[in-house]
């Protein structure tokens, strides 16, 4: 049974005091780092910094999450080596699947006492950066982190780590781009004084601004030599709209000290008051991932985010490739721990909790005020849940476990008679490596607390765990950022058969094997744990030579644990009764099998 002590994941608290705002950047920048992955650049990584997030769950410092690393890696044994795998020695696999030797080295150690004049010993080099390398350009500047060169990142499957806080760039989420839907006005809206403007600043001159606007309205302005009356009408309409924006575009200075109407009003560089972390401006974070950067090894180019024919500092459409309506209008943190009411929350903890948040993005005019409305379609969307604590991140298969999660936004507080929390469901989602999902309903649920009984028949493996809920914009489901969750196989010995000094062990979850000193995989016998030479080893069957004698018990040490069983095979012939060639052949057979 799982323990009930919560292991707190960082940058959020399970219990929030009434005086919470004293522990926050009010107003930003920078944005408080309570939801998602911190707005920092993961550079100059070492094994020590890797383990800060991926090591001990109780002490991790970023919510990307955990799971004991050796177990996560060992669960990849006999799974396919992907195109972007970090496995350093894929050529050592006979079948294209991960083996012990595709990650671990065997070092030859000279030893005159051994029949072959030496032995292979397990190399204990476990430096993360040996396999997960960062990319630098010729000037030594970091151009790609290890996170965005993975299979998921190369497939632009951002949800795997980020959840619904961003949109996958190549999915079918709605981007209201007029150029894409020129004849369907219900599917787009034009650039206006209420359209957020990305970037850290604004155009320095009206000439630059007019050029950018004309590029964005080109689908209306570029009419044929002999236009129709409708084309002339639309061109005149676009010209009038451009002139109106030019005359009125003068974003006011807000209480953050920055101009309203763009992402950088809140998302700017600074020091997070809660964690003390130095937070980067947006373009530093985005370019620092390596996605689309020349020479990074990424399959993506600049076009993943930037539209080549529209000024990227003006149009919001490029940003909406990953930050669309469905994600931006669902982000809110429960600063007071009493549930989220859209429009009535503390300012600067999300996008839809307070009218000040709306102004930060949409108020691009001194004369135009954008007020939140309960009738606005996005005001009734569910908020993206966030996980701040979980009592277990690793369990053993065939065991009944009760997970306890704390966080924010697990259920929504109703904002009108149209929207009731009872109409929306929330569940726990487990995502396998192959992308298939398992959804489990909770036993207990509140806005900040969830308890789930995991079924005992879940298959062993490495999962991503998230809280999911229905009710997002356009009837989408929303999921939190994910936590690495492990179900370790249960090591068992089901049967033992003996033939002289050869012993055959059947069971389950033996895992991979390296027949080398210090590898942690071995077969031993008797109370004194004498080692047996392994002739063959699979996940369910081991054949070993216990030439020193078979005791009354056999112990199998596997990568996922240890199993012991009693045995009644009698005493085998000792090694000194065998001819000398026998010991040499036995050693050679064992070693050659280990490197196959």
- Could you tell me the CATH number of the domain that includes residue 514? 2.60.40.10
* pLDDT band with cut points at 50, 70 and 90 for residue 475: low
pLDDT at position 344 over 80: yes
> Does residue 529 contact residue 541 with C-beta atoms inside 8 Å?
no
| pLDDT band at 233; cut points 50, 70, 90 | very high
Q: What is the largest distance, in Å, between two alpha-carbon atoms of the chain?
A: 105
Asked if residue 293 is part of any domain, the answer here is: no
Give tens-digit pLDDT for 143-202. Answer: 777 888 888 888 888 888 899 999 988 888 888 877 777 677 667 778 888 888 876 656
CA distance 428 to 407: 13
Mean pLDDT across 293-314: 71
pLDDT given for residue 202 in this prediction: 63
Q: Which domain holds residue 515?
A: 492-594
pLDDT tens digits along 558-585: 888 899 999 877 433 333 333 333 333 3
**Secondary structure E strands in 67-217:** 106-110, 118-122, 135-136, 142-144
Please compute Rg for the chain using Cα positions. 30
How much is the pLDDT for 559?
86
Q: Is the pLDDT of residue 362 over 60?
A: yes
What b/e string do you get for 286-319 counting C-beta neighbours within 10 Å, with b at 16 or more?
A: bbbbbbbbeebebebeeebbbbeebbbbbbbbbb
Residue 310's pLDDT is 56
Residue, of 283 and 230, whose pLDDT is higher: 230
Across the range 500-512, mean pLDDT stands at 91
pLDDT of 131 reads: 85
Q: Find which of 187-196, 203-212, 448-457 is predicted with most confidence, using mean pLDDT.
A: 448-457
How many whole angstroms separate alpha carbon 267 and alpha carbon 279? 9
Quote the CA–CA distance of 40 and 330 in Å, as a whole number. Answer: 22
Mode of pairing for the β-strands spanning 483-488 and 394-396:
parallel
Model confidence pLDDT, tens digit, residues 400-447: 899 999 999 998 765 333 334 445 589 999 998 888 899 999 999 988
In this prediction, residues 128-139 reach a mean pLDDT of: 80
CA dihedral in degrees (510, 516, 519, 520; nearest 10)? 50
The structure tokens listed for 140 are: 């030594």
The residue among 379 and 308 whose pLDDT is bigger is: 308
Chain centroid to Cα 64, Å, comes to 6
CB neighbour class for 93 (10 Å; exposed up to 12, middle 13-18, buried from 19): middle
Query: What is the model's pLDDT at position 55?
Result: 65
Res 287 pLDDT > 90: no
CB 88 within 8 A of CB 132: no
Enter the tokens of residue 528: 């004194």
Predicted TM-score (pTM) above 0.85: no
Return the number of other C-beta atoms located less than 10 Å from residue 147's C-beta: 18
Q: Is the peptide bond before 30 cis (omega within 30 degrees of 0)?
A: yes
Tokens 């009944």 found at: 400
Please give the Cα distance from 200 to 501 (Å, whole number): 74
Domain contains 587 = yes
For residue 34, what pLDDT is reported? 85
pLDDT at residue 62 is higher than 60: no
Q: What share of the chain is helix, strand, coil (3-state, %, to 5)?
A: 25, 20, 55
Closest CA to 128 of 65, 50, 56, 75: 50
In SS3 terms, 177-235 reads as CCCCCCCCHHHCCCCCCCCCCCCCCCCCCHHHHHHHHHHHCHHHHCCCCCCCHHHHHHH
- For residue 115, what pLDDT is reported? 73
Residue 411 lies in a domain: no
Is pLDDT at 555 greater than 90 in this prediction? yes
Check pLDDT > 80 for residue 22. no
Residue 445 lies in a domain: no
At 235, is the pLDDT very low, low, confident or very high (cuts 50, 70, 90)? very high
Q: What's the structural domain count of the chain?
A: 1
Three-state SS for 458-477 is: CCCEEEEEEEEECCCHHHCC
> Could you read off the pLDDT of 72-122 as tens digits, one per residue?
888 888 889 988 888 889 999 999 999 888 888 887 778 787 777 777 777
Specify the long-range contacts of residues 432-435, CB closer than 8 Å, at least 24 apart: 432/461, 432/463, 433/79, 433/461, 433/462, 433/463
Instruction: Indicate if the pLDDT at residue 253 is higher than 70.
Output: yes
Mean pLDDT, rounded, for 32-51:
79
3-state secondary structure of 361: helix
Q: With pLDDT > 90 as the criterion, what percentage of the chain qualifies?
A: 21
Half-sphere exposure of 591 (CA within 13 A, CB side): 18
Dihedrals phi, psi of 229, to nearest 5 degrees: -60, -35
Beta bridge partners of 97: 80
Whether the predicted pLDDT of 25 surpasses 80: yes
What residues does 453 pair with on adjacent strands? 402
| Segments of 325-400 assigned E as strands | 386-390, 394-396
Using DSSP, how many helices (H) and how many strands (E) does the chain show? 12, 24
Q: What is the pLDDT of residue 203?
A: 65
Structure tokens, 17: 């005091």
Average pLDDT over every residue of 497-523 = 88
Q: How confident is the model at residue 592 (pLDDT cuts 50, 70, 90)?
A: very low
pLDDT given at position 381: 61
- For residue 270, is pLDDT > 80? yes
> What is the reported pLDDT for 551?
85
Q: Is residue 420 part of a domain?
A: no
- For residue 499, being part of any structural domain is answered with yes
Length of the chain: 596
**Residue 457 predicted with pLDDT over 70:** yes
Average confidence (pLDDT) over 224-249? 92
- Is 147 a member of any domain? no
Q: If pLDDT is split at 50, 70 and 90, which confidence band does 590 have?
A: very low
Q: How far apart, in whole angstroms, are the C-alpha atoms of residue 45 and residue 525? A: 43
pLDDT value, residue 560? 87
Higher pLDDT, 58 or 281: 281
Q: What is the mean pLDDT of the chain?
A: 78
Residue 542 belongs to a domain: yes
Give bridge partners of residue 65 from the DSSP assignment.
Answer: none
Mean pLDDT confidence for 332-346: 85
DSSP code per residue over 278-342: EEPPHHHHHHHT-TT-TTS--S--GGGT--TTS-TTT-STTGGGTS-HHHHTT-B--TTSS---T
Q: What per-residue confidence (pLDDT) applies to 516?
A: 81
Which pair of structure tokens corresponds to residue 286?
Answer: 């985005």
């Amino acid at each position: 049974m799982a323990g009930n002590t919560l292991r707190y994941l960082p940058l959020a608290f399970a219990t929030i005091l009434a005086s919470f705002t004293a522990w926050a950047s009010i107003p930003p920048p920078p944005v408080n780092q309570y939801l998602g992955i911190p707005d920092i650049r993961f550079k100059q990584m070492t094994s020590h910094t890797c383990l800060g997030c991926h090591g001990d769950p109780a002490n991790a410092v970023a919510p990307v999450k955990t799971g004991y690393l050796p177990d996560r890696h060992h669960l990849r044994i006999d799974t396919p080596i992907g195109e972007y795998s970090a496995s350093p020695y894929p050529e050592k696999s006979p079948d294209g699947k991960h083996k012990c030797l595709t990650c671990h080295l065997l070092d030859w150690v000279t030893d005159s006492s051994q029949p072959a004049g030496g032995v292979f010993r397990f190399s204990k080099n476990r430096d993360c950066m040996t396999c997960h390398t960062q990319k630098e350009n010729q000037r030594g500047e970091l151009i790609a982190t290890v996170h965005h060169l993975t299979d998921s990142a190369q497939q632009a499957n951002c949800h795997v780590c980020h959840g619904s806080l961003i949109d996958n760039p190549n999915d079918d989420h709605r981007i209201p781009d007029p150029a894409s839907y020129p004849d369907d006005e219900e599917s787009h809206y034009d650039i206006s004084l209420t359209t957020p403007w990305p970037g850290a600043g604004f155009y320095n001159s009206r000439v630059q601004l007019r050029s950018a606007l004309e590029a964005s309205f080109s689908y209306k302005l570029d009419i044929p030599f002999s236009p129709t009356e409708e084309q002339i009408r639309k061109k005149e309409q676009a010209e009038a709209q451009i002139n109106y924006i030019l005359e009125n575009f003068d974003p006011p200075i807000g209480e953050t000290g920055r101009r309203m109407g763009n992402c950088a009003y809140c998302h700017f560089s600074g020091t997070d008051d809660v964690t003390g972390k130095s937070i980067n401006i947006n373009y530093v974070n985005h370019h620092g991932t390596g996605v689309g950067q020349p020479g990074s090894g990424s399959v993506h180019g600049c076009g993943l985010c930037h539209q080549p024919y529209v000024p990227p500092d003006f149009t919001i459409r490029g940003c909406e490739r990953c930050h669309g309506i469905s994600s931006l209008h669902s982000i809110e943190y429960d600063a007071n721990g009493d549930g989220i009411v859209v429009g009535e929350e503390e300012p600067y903890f999300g996008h839809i909790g307070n009218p000040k948040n709306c102004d930060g993005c949409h108020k691009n005019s001194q004369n135009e005020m954008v007020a939140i409305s309960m009738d606005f379609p996005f005001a009734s969307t569910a908020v993206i849940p966030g996980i701040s604590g979980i009592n277990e991140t690793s369990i053993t298969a065939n065991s009944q476990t009760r997970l306890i999660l704390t966080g924010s936004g697990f259920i929504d507080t109703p904002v009108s008679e149209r929207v009731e929390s009872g109409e929306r469901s929330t569940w726990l989602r487990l995502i396998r490596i192959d992308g298939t999902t398992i959804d489990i309903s909770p036993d207990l649920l509140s806005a900040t607390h969830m308890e789930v009984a995991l079924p005992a028949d879940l298959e062993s493996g490495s999962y991503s765990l998230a809280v999911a809920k229905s009710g997002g914009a356009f009837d989408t489901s929303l999921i939190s950022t994910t936590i690495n969750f492990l179900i370790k196989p249960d090591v068992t010995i089901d049967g033992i058969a003996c033939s002289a000094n050869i012993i055959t062990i059947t069971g389950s979850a033996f895992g991979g094997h390296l027949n080398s000193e210090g590898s942690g995989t071995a077969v031993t016998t008797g109370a004194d744990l004498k080692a047996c030479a392994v002739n063959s080893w699979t996940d369910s069957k081991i054949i070993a030579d216990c030439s020193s004698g078979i005791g009354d018990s056999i112990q199998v040490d596997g990568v996922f644990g240890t199993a012991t069983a009693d045995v009644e095979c009698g005493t085998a012939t000792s090694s000194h009764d065998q001819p000398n060639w026998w010991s040499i052949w036995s050693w050679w057979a064992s070693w050659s099998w280990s490197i196959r």
